Amino acid sequence: TVLVVAVAVDTVLVVMVNVAVVLVEVVAVDVDAVLVVAVAVDAVLVVMVAVDVVLTVVVVVAVDAVLVVAVAVDTVLVVTVDVDTVLVVVVAVVVDAVLVVVVAVDTVLVVAVAVDTVLVVMVNVAVVLVEVVAVDVDAVLVVAVAVDAVLVVMVAVDVVLTVVVVVAVDAVLVVAVAVDTVLVVTVDVDTVLVVVVAVVVDAVLVVVVAVDTVLVVAV
């Protein structure tokens, strides 16, 4: 029940992690628009290769009757994941280097939105996320560590280093998003996780609303 997906679009690196137990380590390296990711976590092997804006092949093989095979045709990518009795639908639409991917499995929701050289990664883990390391050579990027069920948001713009690290412990969430001169901070200390983060990048609005295990994304 471990799902790891990585998609690269030019200098844009998108990493999606879905962990039902414990993720040991995920390392993604993007070098000159060529992404090769190999992750082995408890008999789970994920290998993906992406060249330029067109996604070539995405093959995800997981345990427990979980098989994900995605083939991109020009700018449309549709993935359907059947995890036991849970039906998960993944729809990815690539339009002019704009990638929006939503993956939901049980109470674990992972959303990644990439716009040109802007990388936005949100990870919501029901258990404990040990470590997530994303390295983008050209665009420069990112290290984030999440504790317990919290949201991790990272934004990087062009070569300028912009790192957003969210660390929360037991229903205490602190979100900081920095995009150039724009800074949005939302803090909600309560037993209920309610976060609204709006990021405007080149006339592109990304709104994220998270309530407990429900996440809604509008682009």
Sequence ranges of the domains in the chain: 2-187
pLDDT at position 171 is 26
For each of the chain's 219 residues, which pLDDT tens digit applies?
233 333 333 323 333 333 332 222 233 333 332 222 323 222 222 323 332 222 222 223 222 222 222 322 222 333 333 333 222 222 233 322 223 333 333 223 333 333 322 233 333 322 222 222 333 322 222 222 222 223 333 333 222 222 222 332 222 222 333 333 222 333 333 322 223 333 333 222 333 333 333 333 333
pLDDT at position 209 is 32
pLDDT at position 46 is 30
Whether cis (ω within 30° of 0) applies to the bond prior to 142 is: yes
pLDDT at position 166 is 31
For residue 102, what is the enclosing H or E element? strand 98-105
Cβ-contact 7, 101 below 8 angstroms: yes
- What residue type is 127 in one-letter code? V
Cβ-contact 54, 3 below 8 angstroms: no
pLDDT at position 70 is 30
pLDDT at position 145 is 28
pLDDT at position 84 is 30
Cβ-contact 154, 163 below 8 angstroms: yes
pLDDT at position 140 is 24
User: What are φ and ψ of residue 99, in 5° steps?
Assistant: -115, 130
User: What are φ and ψ of residue 106, in 5° steps?
Assistant: 55, -120
